[in-house]
């Protein structure tokens, strides 16, 4: 490729972007590319200037849909980026639009509830069943029934902290469990390892470990089916050299 490939990210937060970019760095290998965090807005230190979370991703999707005249595929973002990654965690399936005060007017054209029902509350829910249902929700945010060209919908189960834990601390007791994508305590384990403190994800710690996450991405793909799914779908969009 004569020019670096441009990859845009719409993520729940800055630390999610760091983890996603580590995965993409591993997938590209030595190929140069330009990563851009489109949402949430951050400063040069990757400190969030606007609130993040799943509701911010939802609001961004609806704004992008409005800006593109009701057709996400017409968005100028596809001229500015060769690949667009949109990420929410699978635990979003537990949420309702009314859970976040930033969503002033819950959508009338979409179901009020996220797809979670009984499967999400079982001790070990079926990750693919939940991520498939949540993918349909995200596509609904974009007024789409299939994934737009140049787009990857990324839904780590149950959160991207699962991938971080498996990458950086493979010998952690939780990381070694066979049902790792069912676990709800990966963020708790990251607290013990110093990446989360007082409920806050420490961006500097994530950035310091970005290369290690990239180096361990093959292991994450082997342990987490949704990481493998993301990898395959991302690589399918990379132009042949």
Strands 200-201 and 196-197: antiparallel
Give residue-wise pLDDT tens across range 45-99.
766 566 789 999 999 999 999 999 999 999 999 899 999 999 999 988 888 888 8
The per-residue DSSP string of 158-211 comes to S-HHHHHHHHH-TTSTTTT-TTGGG-S-HHHHHHHTTSEETTEE-HHHHHHTHH
For residue 118, pLDDT over 60 is answered with no
Give residue-wise pLDDT tens across range 159-170.
999 999 999 999
CA 38 – CA 17 distance, rounded (Å): 10
The three-class DSSP label of residue 23 is helix
For residue 39, pLDDT over 70 is answered with yes
For residue 101, pLDDT over 70 is answered with yes
Q: What is the mean pLDDT of the chain?
A: 90
What value does the CA radius of gyration of the chain take, rounded to a whole number of Å? 17
Contact 135/152 with Cβ under 8 angstroms? Answer: no
For residue 123, pLDDT over 90 is answered with no
If phi over 0 gives left and psi between -120 and 50 gives alpha, with beta otherwise, what is residue 35?
A: beta
- In this prediction, what percent of the chain has a pLDDT beyond 90? 71
The three-class DSSP label of residue 7 is strand
pLDDT of residue 201: 93
CA 6 – CA 81 distance, rounded (Å): 5
Q: How many residues does the chain have?
A: 241
CA 30 – CA 28 distance, rounded (Å): 6
Q: How many CB atoms are closer than 10 A to CB 205?
A: 17
Question: Which of residues 47 and 196 earns the better pLDDT score?
Answer: 196
Residues 38-65 as b/e (b if ≥16 CB within 10 A, e otherwise) read bbbebeeebebeeebbbbbbbbbbbebb
CA 161 – CA 156 distance, rounded (Å): 8
Bridge partners of 200? Answer: 197
pLDDT of residue 116: 58
pTM to 2 decimals?
A: 0.93
pLDDT of residue 97: 86
Pick the range with the lowest mean pLDDT from 38-42, 113-117, 150-154, 174-178.
Answer: 113-117
Mean pLDDT comparison of 28-37, 48-57, 89-98, 220-229, highest-scoring range: 220-229
Give residue-wise pLDDT tens across range 134-156.
999 999 999 999 999 999 999 99
Query: Where residue 42 falls among pLDDT bands split at 50, 70, 90?
Result: confident
């Amino acid at each position: 490729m004569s020019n670096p490939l441009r990859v845009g990210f719409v993520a729940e937060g800055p630390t999610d972007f760091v983890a996603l970019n580590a995965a993409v760095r591993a997938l590209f290998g030595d190929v140069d590319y330009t990563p851009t965090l489109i949402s949430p807005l951050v400063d040069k230190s990757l400190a969030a200037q606007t609130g993040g979370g799943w509701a911010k991703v939802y609001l961004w999707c609806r704004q992008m849909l409005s800006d593109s005249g009701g057709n996400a595929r017409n968005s100028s973002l596809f001229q500015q980026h060769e690949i667009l990654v949109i990420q929410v965690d699978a635990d979003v399936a537990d949420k309702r639009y009314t859970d976040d005060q930033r969503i002033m007017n819950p959508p009338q054209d979409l179901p009020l509830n996220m797809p979670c029902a009984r499967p999400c509350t079982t001790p070990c829910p079926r990750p693919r069943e939940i991520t498939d249902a949540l993918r349909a929700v995200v596509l609904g945010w974009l007024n789409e029934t299939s994934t737009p060209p140049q787009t990857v919908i990324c839904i780590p189960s149950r959160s991207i902290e699962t991938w971080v834990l498996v990458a950086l601390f493979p010998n952690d007791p939780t990381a070694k469990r066979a049902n790792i994508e069912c676990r709800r305590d990966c963020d708790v384990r990251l607290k013990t390892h110093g990446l989360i403190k007082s409920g806050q994800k420490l961006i500097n710690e994530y950035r310091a470990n970005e290369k290690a996450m990239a180096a361990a991405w093959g292991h994450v793909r082997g342990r987490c089916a949704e990481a493998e799914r993301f990898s395959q779908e991302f690589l399918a969009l990379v132009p042949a050299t």
